Amino acid sequence: MTGIEFNRRLEAIPVYPAAESYAHDGEIVMLASNETPWGPPPPVIGAIQGRLETLNRYPDPDKSVLRRRIAERSEVPMSQVAVGNGSCEILLAAGEALLEPGAELVYAWPSFSMYPHLAAQSGARAVAVALDADGYHDLEAMAHEVTAATRLVLICNPNNPSATALELDAIDAFLADLPRHVAVILDEAYVEFNLLQDPGDSLDLCKKHPNLVLLRTFSKVYGLCGLRAGYAIGPEAFRLAVDRVRQPFSVNALAQAAAAEAIRHQDEVERRVEQTIVERVHVESELADRGLPSTDSEANFAWVSLGDRDEDAIVAGLAERGVIVRAGRALGEEGRLRVTFGTRRENDLFLAALDQVL
C-alpha cells in the first residue's frame, strides 16, 4: 500500500532552513536568527499579562487596536494597514492572493529564504536575480526581468542575508518605471537599523506609488518574534486580498496586545538601535582586523566573507564552543557566515570562539 498522496506542488516547496541546534553543555550564544538580545520591556510584559485571563475569547479578527496604533504612528489610514502572524504570514498570503501558474515573481538572490516559497506554493515562475558583487540588489537587472506575466516584485531592504541597503531614491526610480499592475513588496524587516534613511521615509514612497506595499515586523527591533506579529502598509485592496486568503484569527490575542503596547515605546526602540549600531561597528572592525571583511551592514547582522576558509568547519567549530551562527551555503552563498549582533558579551564570546577556530 502506498502512503498519502500529496499535491504536486508540495515537492517544490523548500524546507525552511532553520538554524541547527548543537549539543553543548555550557552557555549558548544565539547569533543565528537576527533576533534582538533583549526581552520585552516591562510595559509589554504587562500588556501580555493583562490579556491572559481572557484567553477563553478569540482574538480581535480586525486587530483594530494594533492596526490603529500602527496607522497613527505611520500617518496612514487604518484601512491601509494589514497585520499578520509575523510578516511571513503576510508574505505567504500575498503569494496566494497575487500568484498562480503562468504568473511570475521577481526577487534578488540570495535574499530572505521564504521568497522561493511564494512561487513554489502557487505554481508561479520564480525569477531570482543575482545580487551584485558587493551584495546589493541589482535593480537594473531586476527591471529587465519584468514581463507582462510579472505580478510581484520583492525587494528586501536591508537585505537578508547580505545586510546591505539601497538608497530610497534608487527604489523610487525603479518603481517609477514599473507597470502599475505589478505589486512591489518592500520587505523592511530591518528598517529601524538602516542609517541611510528614517523608517518614515519609505512611507512617502507609498503615497507616490499605489502598487507599493511596505512589509514590517515586530520580530526584530521590537523583540517579539516569539509571539509572531508583523504588518504591511499599502493599498487597501492589498489588505482586503490578504485578509481573504487567511483565517480570521491568525494573529493571536497576546501578540496583538504586546505589539500594540510595544509600538508606544519608541524610546526603547531608539535605545536598541543605538546599542546595535555600537555593536555593529565593534564586530565589523574586529572581523576586519582578522582579515574577514563583511558587507556594509545596515541591519542587525553581518554578512562575513570567509575567503577560501572552510565554512562548515568554522560553523561547526563555533557551535562546539556554544556560538550558533548561520552558514552562508544554507542561505544561498557559500564561503559566508551570517552573524547577528548580540550584546557586547555575546559578541566577544563569538570573537573569542572564532579566534580559537581559526
Ligand X SMILES: Cc1ncc(COP(=O)(O)O)c(C=O)c1O
CB atoms within 10 A of CB 177: 9
CB atoms within 10 A of CB 68: 14
Residues 320 to 349: which contact ligand X by CB under 6 A?
Answer: none
300 binds ligand X (CB under 6 A): no
The least CB distance from residue 86 to ligand X, in Å, is 3
The least CB distance from residue 11 to ligand X, in Å, is 24
Q: Please provide residue 2's backbone torsions phi and psi, each rounded to the nearest 5 degrees.
A: -85, 170
The least CB distance from residue 138 to ligand X, in Å, is 18
Nearest CA to 115 out of 239, 17, 241 is that of 17
189 binds ligand X (CB under 6 A): yes
Choosing from 29, 31, 32, 34, the residue that interacts with ligand X (CB under 6 A) is 34
For ligand X, how many residues bind (rule: CB under 6 A)?
Answer: 13
Long-range contacts (CB closer than 8 Å, 24 or more residues apart) made by 251-254: 251/59, 251/63, 251/66, 251/83, 251/84, 251/85, 252/59, 252/85, 252/227, 252/228, 253/51, 253/54, 253/55, 253/57, 253/58, 253/59, 253/60, 254/48, 254/51, 254/52, 254/55, 254/227
92 binds ligand X (CB under 6 A): no
Which CB, 202 or 353, lies closer to ligand X? 202
86 binds ligand X (CB under 6 A): yes
219 binds ligand X (CB under 6 A): yes
Q: Please provide residue 230's backbone torsions phi and psi, each rounded to the nearest 5 degrees.
A: -145, 170
Task: Cell numbers for 165, please give them.
Answer: 541597503
187 binds ligand X (CB under 6 A): yes
Quick one: which segment of 19-27, 71-79, 82-90, 347-355 binds ligand X (CB under 6 A)? Answer: 82-90
The least CB distance from residue 357 to ligand X, in Å, is 25
The least CB distance from residue 85 to ligand X, in Å, is 8
Choosing from 112, 303, 341, 350, the residue that interacts with ligand X (CB under 6 A) is 112
30 binds ligand X (CB under 6 A): no
Residues 225 to 244: which contact ligand X by CB under 6 A?
Answer: 225, 230
DSSP strand pairing (301-305 vs 183-187): unpaired
CA dist., res. 352 & res. 273, Å (int): 24
For ligand X, the binding residues (CB under 6 A) are: 34, 86-88, 112, 156, 160, 187, 189, 217, 219, 225, 230
